[in-house]
Amino acid sequence: MIPLAERLRPTALEDYIGQPHLVASGAVLRKMIETKNISSFILWGPPGVGKTTLAKIIAHTLESPFFSLSAVSSGVKEVREVIEKNRANRLFATTRPILFIDEIHRFSKSQQDALLGAVEDGTLTLIGATTENPSFEVISPLLSRCHVYILKSLNVEDLTQLLHRAIEKDLFLKTLRFSIVETDALFRFSGGDARKLLNIIELLVSQTVSGATIVIDNHSVTECLQENLAFYDKSGEQHYDIISAFIKSLRGSDPNGAIYWLARMLAGGEDPLFIARRMVILASEDIGLANPNALLIANACFDGLHKIGMPEGRLLLSESALYLATSPKSNSAIEAIDGASALVKETGDLPVPLHLRNAPTQLMKELGYSKGYKYAHSYSGNFVDMEFLPEQLSGTQLYKPGNNPRENEVQKTLCNRWKKYHYQNLANFAESTLPDHDTKRI
């Protein structure tokens, strides 16, 4: 049987649920459709919020030829075939064809480059769908030729409407008996994702004895999902919980936990670039100056995945995860920038000291700009004791080295150089730099 999510996919805007900021009367996409003046755009939002459906509705409404490619299974060859086919038929076409590319963030640079000419000369209208920030994943030349519209997770009202439509309108479900007692668990596990909600309903139906009433309440939903955990994971239901467990395993220096959660994510179909991106963040946030090579390893993993993809990319992910998990840790970099940001917010735009200002003109020199500045490389050890903060903040210590071999060496150097910052003696260093328990970061 065709999955419920596909059976209920609407073909007209009147049946589309959610995204009123885009499709309600007077909204931007509604106007584009009504005027039949569609330009290329990218739909950015979480899974299951109607990106593919919206693209198909637009094509159906405009009666435009519709071509769909998935970045997972298509390459440059497939892209060029679609483009050449439409160029050949361009003189006979009454409407501009639409090329929909799902998961466009997975397209390589060369694949995206292949689209540029066709989008620019109007051979086709591109509609891309992505769950990742297009600023990071779509090349600038292509992004500049597309509008970006953000889709939001479905709210409780949207999910309620979808639930009732499913059990009242679907040809199969409306032959069954449903008892909706409570929907808290159903909506919570759905997480604003229409596909997840419909998948859960199908699971409940499949787990209910033929002829019996299908009860939707918190207990039945939770029990059903626990019994079908493997199936549920593969549809990404525990996306946030599992990535949280993975990051905390890396931060906690447990390579076994890290590699287990990595395997769980890969088995569940998680985007490998999402995993790699989170490791790049962790390399700076939780390892930082304790081992700067961690950032190089994480970046190399991210770049390598772009080049070779999966399944070989899992080796890069495994190596990087194990390296990060077994690396010494320090959060001094994020603590320093957080502290500096708070200080800037508190003190405002303090003037730059005159000796640190640039003096490109004679007038500026006469006003004292750059006067008293000492060029560090002209002094022994390439260091000179000079003020680099605004006068009001003199002596403020924002960077506090972590307690690890590399930053202990940094601490020695700072103690010898910067007496005014009151860097601690190494004898007291270990105890005073033990990190506080921090539960605010995942």
Checking if the pLDDT of 158 tops 90, the result is: yes
Question: Hey, CA dihedral for 240, 241, 243, 248, is it positive or negative?
Answer: positive
The identity of residue 127, as a single letter, is I
User: Quick one: pLDDT at residue 440?
Assistant: 43
Give, in order, the Cα–Cα distances in Å from 101 to each of 17, 46, 119.
22, 16, 13
As given in the structure block, the two tokens for residue 356 are 């640190």
Averaged pLDDT, 120-149: 88
Instruction: Determine what percent of the chain falls in helix, strand and coil, rounding each to the nearest 5.
Output: 60, 5, 35
Checking if the pLDDT of 411 tops 50, the result is: yes
CATH code for the domain defined by 156-234 = 1.10.8
Averaged pLDDT, 11-27: 92
**Pick among 3.40.50.10860, 3.90.226.10, 3.30.1330.20, 3.40.50.300: CATH of 19-150:** 3.40.50.300
Checking if the pLDDT of 357 tops 60, the result is: yes
Q: How many CA atoms lie within 13 A of 13 on its CB side?
A: 18
Q: Band of the pLDDT at 387, cuts 50, 70, 90?
A: confident
The identity of residue 270, as a single letter, is E
User: Quick one: pLDDT at residue 161?
Assistant: 95
User: Quick one: pLDDT at residue 422?
Assistant: 54
**Pick among 1.20.272.10, 3.20.19.10, 1.10.10.10, 2.30.110.10: CATH of 239-326:** 1.20.272.10
Spatial CA neighbour of 386 closest among 431, 420, 428, 426: 420
As given in the structure block, the two tokens for residue 210 are 């033929």
User: Quick one: pLDDT at residue 116?
Assistant: 87
Yes or no: say if 12 and 60 are a contact pair by the CB < 8 Å rule: yes
User: Quick one: pLDDT at residue 162?
Assistant: 95
Averaged pLDDT, 357-365: 82
Give, in order, the Cα–Cα distances in Å from 76 to each of 55, 70, 71, 330.
22, 12, 10, 43
User: Quick one: pLDDT at residue 423?
Assistant: 57
Same fold, 19-150 and 239-326: no
Q: Rounded CA gap, 33 and 401, in Å? A: 57
193-231 pLDDT per residue, tens: 999 899 999 989 988 888 899 999 999 988 887 765 544
H or E element, residue 286: none
Which residues are within 8 A (CB) of 171 and not within 5 positions of it... i.e. 6 or more apart? 7
50-101 pLDDT per residue, tens: 999 999 998 888 888 888 887 767 777 888 888 888 787 766 666 788 889 9
User: Quick one: pLDDT at residue 95?
Assistant: 76
User: Quick one: pLDDT at residue 431?
Assistant: 41
Averaged pLDDT, 417-442: 49
Domain map of the chain by residue range?
Answer: 19-150, 156-234, 239-326, 348-432
Distance of CA 238 to the CA centre of its chain: 16
Q: Rounded CA gap, 368 and 360, in Å? A: 12
User: Quick one: pLDDT at residue 227?
Assistant: 64
H or E element, residue 336: helix 332-347
